[in-house]
Amino acid sequence: MAEAEATKQAEEKARQDAETARQVEAAALAAKEAQQAAARLADEQQAQEAHAAEVAAKLEAEAKAEQARQEAAAQAEQQRLRDAEKRAADEARAAKEAAEAEEAERMAKQAAGDAAAQAKLAEDAAAQAAQDLETAKANVVAALDAPQAAAILAGTDEPEAPVKKPGLLGRMLGRKEQKVVVRRELDDDMLEALEELLIASDMGVDTSLRVTANMAEGRFGKKLSTQEIKDLLASEITKIMEPVAKPMPIYPKRPQVVLVVGVNGSGKTTTIGKLALQFSNAGKKVVIAAGDTFRAAAVEQLQVWGDRAGVPVLTAPEGSDPASLAFEAMEKAEADGADLLMIDTAGRLQNRADLMEELAKIVRVIRKKDETAPHNTLLVLDATTGQNALNQVDVFSQISDVSGLVMTKLDGTAKGGVLVALADKFGLPIHAIGVGEQIDDLAAFDPEEFAQALTGTATE
């Protein structure tokens, strides 16, 4: 019994010891797991703190960027307002100058009208005196035969040969009239003769018919003197030309890019030199780009004109890409603070598609630098080309968006009537006309003077 009890107690003690050992092991395992959980929690907390710091840094960066953007926007808005104020001031000044010029022109026209009215009164008085003299002569002729009467009235011993009267076309082209005012009825024959005259002066069929139709309105069948016909014709031409007589506009944009185009020999180079001098004298800083890189002589000629005008000329080696030169010239003009950049181009016939494509390329490259450029595209026309000028304007306008015209060589034999046809058909501004080879031989287009010169009514 004692042994069995001892054995039982030993087994119980062994079981308790095993249970204690198991509990100790379980406690150690739990402690290890708790330590691992604490480590994981610390890691997670550290990660959260790092993420929070990253988010805070990002928010701070975004806040600074937003503040910078708002400051930049505010500065841009202030600059825009300053530019708008400057534009408004420039426009107000230009409007004031235009109003003053318009008022001065109105007063000048009024004075001219008064002078014309007085001249008309004097002409009527002279005509009446001539009629009285003819009546007196008729009384003498009634008593003598015609040859004797003519000799006596002329103060000679022999009859004077009759003076041959100039024809209608001769008188319309400015030849002096007879002292006796001859009036002719404005009938179909007269209108047909006028139409032929206008067509011969390069005015074109459509424009000539329109002008004569306006002349006949309210006057058909009436007797008019040669001078009255000339004055009436000049008035109708002036009406067509007045809306297009405008100087080349100057914009606040710097540099203002002026592209000059035209066919071979039209006078582009000389026109650029003359315009450069005028703008320079007006206080503008001008730069010229010699875009005719295919002919060395063209570059040299432009340099001569640049020297005469006191304006720098940018060049490139012969054969260079003119579009590249135009782009570089824009950068140079912008860096130098130039007001105007005038770009010469090679002369090209409007029926050569390859040459016209080169011009289109120049325009495309210019617009890569400034999408609003060229701000002016001047087409230079030779007055001696006649009706071909209509086709030139049509084709060049499609390629380079022509904004204004300059006509050269009006000092020669050219009639210049094609300008009337151009104004009637296209309505493009005519900025100036070339009247000689000297650097100051470029005049603002005056429609009234032009009409008088074309019809022969200008004062000799």
352-383 burial, b for 16+ CB within 10 Å, e for fewer? eeebbebbeebbebbeeeeeebbbbbbbbbbb
Cα–Cα distance, 320 to 325 (Å, whole number) = 8
Q: How far is CA 198 from CA 117, 208, 234, 254, 456, in A?
A: 27, 6, 12, 44, 13
Strands (E), 120-182: none
Task: Answer whether 204's CB lies under 8 Å from 210's CB.
Answer: no
- Give residue 41's pLDDT: 85
Within 10 Å of residue 279's Cβ, how many Cβ atoms?
A: 21
Q: Which two tokens stand for residue 454?
A: 């074309």
Would you write out the chain's pLDDT as a tens digit for each of its 460 residues?
778 888 888 888 888 888 888 888 888 888 888 888 888 888 888 888 888 888 888 888 888 888 888 888 888 888 888 888 888 788 878 777 777 777 666 666 665 555 555 555 556 555 554 554 454 444 433 433 434 434 433 434 444 444 433 332 333 343 444 455 678 888 999 999 999 989 888 898 999 999 999 999 988 889 998 889 999 999 999 999 999 999 999 998 899 999 999 988 888 999 999 999 999 999 999 999 998 888 778 888 889 999 999 999 999 888 889 999 999 999 999 999 999 999 999 877 656 677 788 888 999 999 999 999 999 999 999 988 888 999 999 989 988 889 999 999 887 666 688 999 999 999 999 999 988 888 888 889 999 998 988 887 755 4
Q: Look at the block and give the residue holding tokens 């120049």.
A: 362
Residue 323 CB contacts under 8 Å (≥ 6 apart), including other chains: 358, 361, 362, 364, 365, 366
Q: How far is CA 158 from CA 63, 93, 143, 180, in A?
A: 113, 72, 17, 23
In degrees, to the nearest 5, what angle opens at C-alpha 149 toward C-alphas 147 and 150?
A: 65
Task: Answer whether 286's CB lies under 8 Å from 279's CB.
Answer: yes
Pairing state between β 183-185 and 286-289: unpaired
Task: Answer whether 89's CB lies under 8 Å from 82's CB.
Answer: no
Cα–Cα distance, 417 to 407 (Å, whole number) = 11
Task: Answer whether 124's CB lies under 8 Å from 132's CB.
Answer: no
- Give residue 128's pLDDT: 53
Q: Look at residue 260 and give its three-state secondary structure.
A: strand
- Give residue 378's pLDDT: 96
How far out from the chain centre does Cα 348 lie? 20
How far out from the chain centre does Cα 429 lie? 8
Task: Answer whether 259's CB lies under 8 Å from 345's CB.
Answer: yes
Cα–Cα distance, 264 to 347 (Å, whole number) = 4
By the 10 Å C-beta count (0-12 exposed, 13-18 middle, 19+ buried), 320 is classed as middle
Sheet-wide strand order for 430-434? 313-314, 286-289, 340-344, 256-261, 376-382, 404-408, 430-434, 442-444
- Give residue 413's pLDDT: 61
Residue 230 CB contacts under 8 Å (≥ 6 apart), including other chains: 171, 172, 455, 456, 457
- Give residue 460's pLDDT: 44
Backbone φ and ψ of 157, nearest 5°: -85, -20
